Amino acid sequence: MFEALTDKLGAVFSKITSRGVLSEADIDSAMREIRVALLEADVSLSVVKDFINHVKAEALGEKVVRSVQPGQMVVKIVHDELVKLLGSEGTELNLNAPAPVVILMTGLQGSGKTTTSAKIANKLKKHKRVLMASTDVYRPAAREQLNDLGKQIGVDCLDIREGEKPLEITKRALEKAKTGVYDVLILDTAGRLQIDEMLMDELVEMKALAKPTEILLVSDALIGQEACNVAKAFNEKLGITGLVLTRIDGTSRAGAALSMKMVSGVPIKFLGTGEKTDEIEAFHADRIAGRILGQGDVVSLVEKAMETMDKKQAEQDMLAMMKGKFDLNDLLSQLRSMKKLGSMGSVLSMIPGIAKYKAQLEQINGDEILKKQEAIILSMTKKERAFPDIIKASRKKRIASGAGVEVSEVNKLLKSYEQMASMVKQMGKFGGIKGFAQMLKRGPMGNMPFGPMNNKRF
């Protein structure tokens, strides 16, 4: 969602960072280009004006003029102002209230409230006992959808009774949450337009009955500047406590994310990054600002890896590597761990400095490569995975046929495996990763057969 804005801002910054001295005319020119980039990204005009005024005032100060690298200082100022724009305050859910803590989900039709309810429940279930209830009696099968999602993630849902009104469902959900000793109750509501007074009044009545600690507005990032009008209207009527932006993996122009917080005055709490129940991430203004400026987001990448990693499997893999053991079963485990992180594009976007290689990376379909490699290994017998050395021409042909690929693809995989296995074997010889790292530092001075200055090996 931030790609177009990242590219345009990157072009502006490449001009100013390449200069040793910046004049006022240079800064004015850069501000004009940044203004255009933000407006084209669908950021509201009033927000753009305030943003540019703040950046320009800072950029013309002595701190930049006297800086050794004035261009880099301007980039830092833009980053800091983006953080302020997106909201630098904490965005954690407020669960500091007597149980059951009620979270009321609101938004327009089709914004993704039901899926987002399940995603939040999936995150909370690790530490809290959660109950979900749908009060959407207007959309066909809306309540069944939430109950199906509840079964998928292992979270309890209120049973469905025909003929109930939203307020009756709310009352029954509150009673079940209290008697069932649930920590959190998530109330999914029907989608409604902010101009529909009757349905908006229904939400006000639900709020009065449920007394929610959090009222989250779920908004589709694809609706652009209209998201700001929606946020403003819902906030005036209900007093929302936070925003959730969905479909940020789509082709929206990022304007909603950059404008909604300023217009509504409430923080963005979550970003929906896909359709699956685990594809949601907590919103961190500094990390998003880093992504927009092409600086990556290593912290979020590490957190995502920690969440998706099978700790027991990782420990087993590490012990095997310490002993210098590594076969194709281990490689399969590594490939599957990589797939759990999400699409290759989303992972690469979190790596600092990767934006400059965007054109080259777009030519490589990383997700397709991972699928092919997994298919190749799954086409092998157990014996072949454990003892790759036995895979000769006839076996390669059979494996390629089973995986639906060319024999050359099998050869590439085996070549990659051999390189990894060789490195793991070296780790085992030198007492694991730490010893291997120390050996690499010593290089040829330690009489090793390889090192940064030894061209015989590399």
**CATH code, domain with 216:** 3.40.50.300
Q: What is the pLDDT of residue 90?
A: 58
- Give the burial class of 281: count Cβ atoms within 10 A of its Cβ; 0-12 exposed, 13-18 middle, 19 or more buried: buried
Amino acid occupying residue 197:
E
Whether residue 241 is found in the same domain as residue 106: yes
Q: Are residues 274 and 325 in the same domain?
A: no
What value, to the nearest 5°, has the Cα angle with vertex 305 and ends 303 and 309? 125
Report the distance separating Cα 234 and Cα 439, nearest Å: 61
Q: Could you report the average pLDDT of every consecutive run of 10 residues in the chain (458 residues)?
A: 69 73 79 84 81 83 62 78 73 86 91 92 92 91 93 93 92 94 94 78 92 91 75 87 80 65 81 83 75 56 54 61 72 74 57 51 61 90 91 92 92 87 69 49 41 37
**Do residues 148 and 274 both lie within one domain?**
yes
pTM score: 0.63
Q: Computed from CA positions of residues 165, 172, 132, 288, in that sequence, does the dihedral angle turn out positive or negative?
A: positive
Task: Report if residue 305 sits inside a domain.
Answer: no
Burial (CB count within 10 angstroms: exposed 0-12, middle 13-18, buried 19+), residue 5:
buried
Which of 232, 261, 295 is a domain's end point? 295
Are 130 and 274 in a shared domain? yes
Residues 44 and 165 in one domain: no
Smallest Cα–Cα separation from 322: which of 454, 205, 433?
433
The pLDDT score that the predictor gives to residue 436 is: 46
Please tell me the predicted confidence (pLDDT) of residue 130: 95
125 lies in some domain: yes
Residue where a domain terminates, one of 295, 323, 342? 295
Shortest CA distance to 333 belongs to which of 349, 316, 345? 316
The total of structural domains in the chain comes to: 3
Q: Looking at the structure, do residues 333 and 414 belong to the same domain, yes or no?
A: yes
**Domain span holding position 329:** 310-446
Place of tokens 């304007």: 255
State residue 148's pLDDT score.
94
The verdict on residue 300 lying in a domain is no
Domain co-membership, 261 together with 120:
yes
* Confidence (pLDDT) at 331: 81
DSSP 452: T
pLDDT at 298: 46
For residue 150, tell me if it sits in a domain.
yes
Q: For residue 18, give the CATH number of its domain.
A: 1.20.120.140
205 with 335, same domain: the answer is no
On whether both 273 and 134 belong to a single domain, the answer is yes
Exposed, middle or buried: residue 261 (CB in 10 Å: 0-12, 13-18, 19+)? buried
pLDDT in tens, 105-114: 998 888 889 9
